[in-house]
Amino acid sequence: MKIIYAVFGDPVEHSLSPVMHNAAFAALGMDCEYHKFRVSKDDLETAIMGARAMGFGGLNLTIPLKEIALEIVEPDTLAHDIGAVNTIEFKDNRLIGHNTDGIGALRALQLSGVIIPNSRVLILGAGGAARAVAFQLAQNGAKVTIANRTAQRAHSLAENVNPVGDVRGTGLDDLQELVAQSNIMINTTSVGMHPDIDKTPITADMMRPGLVVFDIVYNPLKTRLLIEAETAGAIIIDGLKMLVLQGAESFRIWTGVEPPVKVMERAARTVLELM
């Protein structure tokens, strides 16, 4: 019988997960389908239990459900530390919560040939995505600086992550200096996201050849920040890579099958180019 997978969120209309996962299932000849469902916070527990009762293969969660899911499922250590669940595994009678956002970011860097241990990483932003990225990179041996518009949020995130690695938090006052001291810069703020596509947190004059600039914003595919980075001769990585690789990690958790990453990326890229 066909196995159903799904993403729950609110809003969820624009999720690229169905297109990525359905392309993967088709490429591997698996009798599975992936759908999106609008689920409110209040209905999350009922929806998860319903999915389990109906034999769903697994779930993804997106805004605004990732944090409250912690009280419904058993989070693994990383999801617990990050404070958010984006993947639910139905294992025997258990509901296991994972967070694959950080792994997606880590793999996006590694696939571009970036070495993480002892690298000096500047993360712009201290929101949900920054949290996942900071935990993952600190755990993998990077020296992380979190710089955020609201400095207090950066300090408090750094304090949370510090037990697993080398992390400090700061405001945006000395941004030029912070970029000069880093070899990898990751934008996790929403600056530059559609419709504000002319905005960038950093301009070309602050970057240099060899600097790795990773923008996790994926709409537009090539943000103003990445255009400026290219002008400066920096190495660029776009947010679609992270999106696809976090999805690929969910796929691996649910199915135990190696995900066809190139197929997933091509499917998501095609849809984004049409948007």
With binding defined as CB under 6 A, does residue 182 bind ligand NAP? no
Q: What is the CA radius of gyration of the chain?
A: 18
With binding defined as CB under 6 A, does residue 15 bind ligand NAP? no
Residue 132 contacts by C-beta under 8 Å, 6 or more apart in sequence?
82, 84, 99, 101, 102, 105
Q: Which is nearer to ligand NAP, 179 or 216 (CB)?
A: 216
What three-state secondary structure class fits 162? helix
Before 195, cis peptide (omega within 30)?
Answer: yes
For 196, phi then psi, to 5°, come to -90, 55
Q: Which is nearer to ligand NAP, 22 or 190 (CB)?
A: 190
Active site residue 36: no
**Active-site annotation holder among 2, 36, 41, 66:** 66
Region near ligand NAP per CB under 6 A, out of 87-95, 126-134, 161-169, 173-181: 126-134
Residue type (1 letter), 61: L
Contact with ligand NAP (CB under 6 A): which of 206, 216, 225, 248? 216
- Tokens for 126, please give them: 């201290």
With binding defined as CB under 6 A, does residue 128 bind ligand NAP? yes
Minimum CB separation from ligand NAP for residue 256, in Å?
A: 23
Q: Which is nearer to ligand NAP, 116 or 172 (CB)?
A: 172
Letter string b/e over residues 4-21, b meaning 16 or more CB atoms within 10 A of that residue's CB? bbbbbbbebeebbbbbbb
Q: Catalytic residue numbers?
A: 66
Interacting residues toward ligand NAP by CB under 6 A: 101, 104, 125-130, 148-150, 153, 188-191, 193, 216-218, 239, 242-243, 246
